[in-house]
Amino acid sequence: MRVIVSTCGTSVLTHQTPDEFRTLLNRLSNRQQDELGEHLSAVEAHIAQRRDQMRTADIETARKMSAELNGILGVYGGTLPPEARSDRHLLVASDTYLGNTCARIVADWLTANGIPDVQVCVIKNLVTDSLETFRFGVQELVQWCEETLPGHRKTYRIIFNLTGGFKGVQGVMNTLAHAYADEIVYIFETGRDLLRIPTLPLNWDPVAIARAHLPALRRLALGIADSSDIAGLPEVLVLAEKDDAGLSLVGEMVWQKAAPVLYAERLLDPPSPRIRYSPRFERQVADVIEPDRRVRINRAIDALERWLAGHEPPKSFQVKPVEGKHPTLPQVTHECYAWSDRDAKRIFFSLDNGAIVLEDLGQHL
């Protein structure tokens, strides 16, 4: 059995499209539906036409119209044999209107032709018109790979089909394949010959790498690193541009694999001087024995660091002023969700001249 991960672009819309309209589609490929403006009606009419064509497309026509399906069907030798029904297809799409739409057209064709296990996996920020946004998209893509693929690898052979999709995304997936896939497949342009590239067996220890550089990698992941953090890191882990720095693709791979392990071990030191721990809070966390709860506490602290920088925390780590007063700590002004299941713990904290002090890990008031 196989998991075939296919990068998706807009080929189903641009194939045999007049040059002028193809240029327009390429220009609109990073936009949302409500950003298409005066072009919305023309684009939607074109989508409806292509969707109708794909509904009745045979295998040969589907291969011509869709680069993604050309690669998938190439894996099967140009047919859909009975064993294809036991494979799982993950279609990686951008969260843009055209990217999402095209991936769903491909998914509909596979489902209509007897492939039951097809999922469209939408990755946020995976756009190619802004380097900064694309970097966030790469973070999301690496996180998706780490959360989705290792569990499949125990049962399935994982194939990255990179025939379709945008070149920037294909380049990232080529690197990720060596950590998450068994094989890369590719078909050039509208050809039929399938190029198979076995991935290299990586012998590395991302947890050991991250442990050796934990504070700096964490700060890079949070977007708060300074020059002293970068100076001590291997260059392969860092993407530095002028006054801005973040994790490189390899750095993201290391961090996504290692962070859950390191976060489960103990309460990590605060990521910056803007967060401090009270002795009471440290004792309470030391008494937490479940590794997954320690992960939640460390991730909540990450969310608080981002909150201090002006970013809205995820709903699972919601931050809000306390209602009423803390029963024993009158200095407490805010709470952050640690977890909402079981005993539903909150991290209570006080404000101190632009910094925060984590005072208590307790049940919600």
pLDDT value at residue 246: 85
CA distances from 255 to 222, 252, 314 (A): 11, 5, 19
Q: Which CATH class is domain 2-198?
A: alpha beta
Question: What pLDDT is recorded for position 190?
Answer: 65
Q: Note the pLDDT of residue 242.
A: 63
- The residues near 117 (Cβ < 8 Å, ≥ 6 apart) are 87, 88, 89
Which of 3.90.1150.10, 3.40.1440.10, 3.30.2310.20, 1.20.1050.10 is the CATH number of 266-365? 3.30.2310.20
Cα 136 to Cα 339: distance, rounded to the nearest angstrom: 25
Domains 2-198 and 266-365 share a fold: no
SS3 content of the chain, % helix, strand, coil (to 5): 50, 20, 30
User: Hunting for tokens 């950003």 — which residue is that?
Assistant: 35
C-alpha to C-alpha distance for 182 and 129, rounded to whole angstroms: 31
**β-pairing, 238-241 with 183-186?**
unpaired
Global model pTM greater than 0.85: no
H or E element in which residue 136 lies: helix 131-153
* Distance from C-alpha of 55 to C-alpha of 236, rounded to nearest angstrom: 46
Residues 26, 98: Cα–Cα separation, whole Å:
10
What pLDDT, on a 0 to 100 scale, did the predictor assign at position 132?
Answer: 76
Q: What is the CB neighbour count within 10 angstroms for residue 78?
A: 13
Q: What is the pLDDT along the chain (365 residues), one digit of tens a residue?
A: 999 999 999 999 998 899 999 899 889 888 888 888 899 999 999 999 999 999 999 999 999 999 999 999 999 999 999 999 999 999 999 999 999 999 999 999 999 999 999 999 999 988 877 777 888 899 899 999 999 999 888 889 999 999 999 888 999 999 999 889 999 999 986 677 889 998 877 678 999 999 999 999 999 999 888 888 888 888 889 887 766 788 989 999 999 999 999 999 999 999 999 999 999 999 999 999 999 999 999 999 999 999 998 888 888 999 999 988 888 899 999 999 999 888 889 999 999 888 999 999 998 77
pLDDT of amino acid 121: 96
Q: Select from 48, 77, 51, 80 the least CA-distant residue to 65.
A: 51
pLDDT at 96: 92
Q: How far is CA 188 from CA 113, 164, 192, 279, in A?
A: 24, 10, 8, 61
Amino acid present at 226:
D
| Residue ranges of domains in the chain | 2-198, 204-265, 266-365
On whether the CB atoms of residues 190 and 150 are closer than 8 A, the answer is no
CA distances from residue 209 to 107, 181, 215, 314, 363 in whole angstroms, order as listed: 39, 21, 12, 28, 36
309-331 residues labelled b (16+ CB within 10 A) or e (exposed): eeeebeeebbbeebeeebeebee
